[in-house]
């Protein structure tokens, strides 16, 4: 078998800007060019997906970069078909780099006769020949247990902590971290500990799915610069209402740090017209033109973290070292 000399990255169509940014960052770290593998991922007239890899990948350590974001089904199928193409081309190892793992919200049976789609997707990924998964901020961490292969789940909180410490320099004593619901307390507490800020919770009650009937603020936010922390922002209805409730309870400013900006439907318009001073998201999902043009939406890069994680996997070194702010600080120096 040939000796593996460099990691090779192949990208689907879901988030090409992020894939190119990761390859540039890896080139910087390695001191040599690490380009994307030359391939085409196209569709026939009936929308069947076709993949052709133009480079030799026999015996190589392959990394497929593909978020399973909107359109989730198309992007998921691209990932599976690319994995099959690489497996049949005798790649030594195939790692799926999935910055945003779709279907993660369907991680348990909430009612009778409903699926656990996250487990189904995990099975499909495994059966396609993928041997490892690298993702970020899974909606539910127990999804790692749905896989029979190693899963490395990166966290956005160290990057968010670096950004908050820079954006609110000299004002950290006025910052309050807020969880938008009881289920997200662990995520919010983790970020609060990193920056030494207090924690508050917005308790929401729903009369029916998609509609929030009542919100209660647990904790005193009077005079505080509130930062709402969550993993996914979809239609932004709950987020914008939570911001209004916080302002009504005496907050001076409301900002939000959300890992995955799904931002579907009226989300961008809602955020633009809301009382939120800023919404900070990562580039795990490719930004639409509306998102990029929104005056109060800012995007922080994940390419430095993913590039280092890929190199650590390839080298057989620790990925968990990237959970620490001290480790990421030098990587993000001059970026945030």
Q: What is the 3-state secondary structure (H, E, C) of the chain?
A: CCCCCCCEEEECCCCHHHHHHHHHHHHHHHCCCCCECCEEEEECCCCCEEEEECCCCCCCEEEEECCCCCCHHHHHHHHHHHHHHHHHCCCCEEEEEECCCCCCCCCCCCCCCCCCHHHHHHHHHHHCCCCEEEEECCCCHHHHHHCCCCEEEECCHHHHHHHHHHHCCCCHHHEEEEECCHHHHHHHHHHHHHHCCCEEEEEEEEEECCEEEEEEEECCCCCCEEEEEEEEECCCHHHHHHHHHHHHCCCCEEEEEEEEECCCCCHHHHHHHCCCCEEEEECCCCCCHHHHHCCCEEEECCHHHHHHHHHHHHHCCCCHHHHCHHHHHHHCCCCC
CA-CA-CA-CA torsion for 104, 105, 106, 111, nearest 10 degrees? 160
Q: Which of 13, 76, 9 is nearest to 42 (CA)?
A: 13
**Known binding-site residue numbers:** 46-48, 105-106, 139, 181, 206, 230, 234-238
- pLDDT above 60 (res 208): no
Same domain, residue pair 163 and 28:
no
2 domain-assigned: no
Preceding omega of 71 cis (within 30 degrees of 0): yes
Whether the CB-CB separation of 127 and 149 falls below 8 Å is answered with no
Q: Identify whether the C-beta of residue 202 lies closer than 8 Å to the C-beta of residue 178.
A: yes
Average pLDDT over residues 72-92: 97
Q: What are the pLDDT digits (tens) for 222-279? A: 999 999 999 999 999 989 999 999 999 999 999 999 999 999 999 999 999 999 999 9
Mean pLDDT confidence for 277-283: 97
Query: Two tokens at 227?
Result: 């930062």
pLDDT value for 32: 87
Which is nearest to 165 in space by CA: 250, 227, 242?
227
Query: Could you give the CA distance from residue 84 to residue 61 in angstroms, rounded to a whole number?
Result: 15
173 in the same domain as 96:
no
- Name the pLDDT band for 206 (thresholds 50, 70, 90): low
**Are residues 127 and 215 both part of a single domain?**
no
Q: Is residue 193 part of a domain?
A: yes
Residue carrying structure tokens 């950004």:
163
Residue 128 lies in a domain: yes
Same domain, 289 and 322: no
19, 151: one domain = yes
Is the pLDDT confidence value at 55 over 50?
yes
Known binding-site positions for ATP: 46-48, 105-106
Q: Are 227 and 257 in contact (CB under 8 A)?
A: yes
**How many CB atoms sit inside 10 A of residue 48's CB?**
10
> 118 and 28, same structural domain?
yes
Write out the residue range of the structural domain in which residue 81 sits. Answer: 8-155+303-331
The reported pLDDT for the residue numbered 110 is: 85
Q: For residues 34 and 22, what is the distance between their CA atoms, to the nearest angstrom?
A: 9
Q: At residue 174, does pLDDT exceed 60?
A: yes
Based on the domain organization, do 199 and 282 belong to the same domain? yes
Q: Please tell me the predicted confidence (pLDDT) of residue 1.
A: 43
Average pLDDT over residues 197-225: 82
pLDDT at residue 281 is higher than 70:
yes
- Residue 85: is its pLDDT beyond 60? yes
Q: Are residues 67 and 182 in the same domain?
A: no
Quick one: pLDDT at residue 2? 46
**Do residues 259 and 161 share a domain?**
yes
Yes or no: say if 166 and 336 are a contact pair by the CB < 8 Å rule.
yes
Instruction: Give the mean model confidence (pLDDT) for residues 41-47.
Output: 93
Q: Average pLDDT, stretch 78-88?
A: 98
Is the domain of 101 the same as that of 187?
Answer: no
Q: Say if residue 311 is in the same domain as residue 294.
A: no
126 C-beta neighbours (distance < 10 Å), count:
16
Q: Is residue 50 part of a domain?
A: yes
Question: Would you state the pLDDT for residue 310?
Answer: 97
Strands 132-136 and 93-98: parallel
In a domain, residue 1? The reply is no
Question: What spatial distance separates the first Cα and last Cα of the chain, rounded to whole Å?
Answer: 42
Q: Is residue 273 part of a domain?
A: yes
Q: Residue 196 sits in a domain of what CATH number?
A: 3.40.50.2020
- Do 137 and 19 share a structural domain? yes
Task: Please report, in range form, the residues annotated as the binding site for Mg(2+).
Answer: 139, 181
Q: How far apart (Å, rounded) are the C-alpha atoms in residues 182 and 235?
A: 19
- Confidence class for position 214, pLDDT limits 50, 70, 90: confident
Number of domains in the chain: 2
pLDDT in tens, 91-148: 999 999 999 999 999 999 988 999 999 999 999 999 999 999 999 999 999 999 999 9
Q: Average of pLDDT values for 325-329?
A: 87
Check residue 270 and give its pLDDT. 96
Give me the mean pLDDT over the 44-65 stretch.
96
Cα–Cα separations (whole angstroms), residue 318 to 7, 186, 220, 327, 335: 16, 24, 40, 12, 23
Which candidate, 199, 183, 282, 272, places its Cα nearest to that of 236? Answer: 272
Indicate if the pLDDT at residue 4 is higher than 60.
Answer: no
pLDDT of residue 209: 53
In a domain, 131, yes or no: yes
- Pairwise CA distance, residues 249 & 15, whole Å: 39
pTM of this prediction exceeds 0.85 = yes
Residue 27 in domain: yes
Q: Please confirm, yes or no, whether 8 is among the known catalytic residues.
A: no
Q: What percent of the chain has pLDDT over 90?
A: 86
pLDDT-above-70 percentage for the chain: 96
Q: Which one of 20, 119, 204, 277 is the catalytic residue?
A: 204
Average pLDDT (190-217) is: 81
């Amino acid at each position: 078998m040939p000796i593996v000399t460099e990691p090779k990255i192949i990208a689907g169509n879901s988030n090409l800007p992020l894939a190119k940014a990761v390859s540039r960052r890896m080139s910087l770290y390695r001191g040599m060019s690490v380009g994307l593998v030359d391939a085409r991922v196209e569709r026939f007239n009936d929308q069947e997906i076709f993949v052709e890899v133009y480079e030799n990948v026999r015996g190589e350590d392959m990394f497929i970069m593909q978020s399973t974001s909107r359109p989730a089904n198309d992007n998921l199928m691209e990932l599976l078909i690319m994995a099959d193409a690489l497996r049949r081309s005798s790649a030594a190892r195939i790692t799926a780099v999935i910055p945003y793992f779709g279907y993660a919200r369907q991680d348990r049976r909430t009612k009778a006769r409903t699926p656990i789609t996250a487990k189904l997707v995990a099975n499909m990924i495994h059966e396609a020949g993928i041997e490892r998964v690298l993702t970020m901020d899974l909606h539910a961490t127990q999804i790692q247990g749905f896989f029979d292969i190693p899963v490395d789940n990166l966290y956005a909180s160290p990057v968010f902590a670096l950004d908050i410490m820079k954006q609110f320099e000299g004002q950290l004593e006025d910052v309050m971290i807020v969880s938008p619901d009881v289920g997200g307390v662990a995520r919010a507490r983790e970020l609060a500990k990193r920056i030494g800020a207090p924690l508050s919770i917005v308790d929401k009650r729903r009369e029916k799915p998609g509609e929030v009937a009542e919100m209660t603020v647990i904790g005193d936010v009077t005079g505080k610069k509130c930062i709402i922390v969550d993993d996914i922002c979809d239609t932004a209805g709950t987020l914008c209402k939570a911001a209004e409730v916080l302002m009504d309870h005496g907050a001076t400013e409301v900002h939000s740090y959300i890992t995955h900006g799904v931002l579907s439907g009226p989300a961008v318009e809602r955020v633009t017209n809301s009382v939120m001073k800023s919404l900070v998201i990562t580039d795990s999902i490719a930004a639409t033109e509306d998102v990029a043009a929104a005056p109060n939406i800012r995007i922080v890069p994940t390419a430095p973290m993913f590039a280092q994680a890929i190199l650590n996997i390839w080298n057989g070194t620790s990925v968990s070292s990237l959970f620490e702010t001290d480790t990421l600080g030098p990587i993000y120096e001059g970026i945030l």
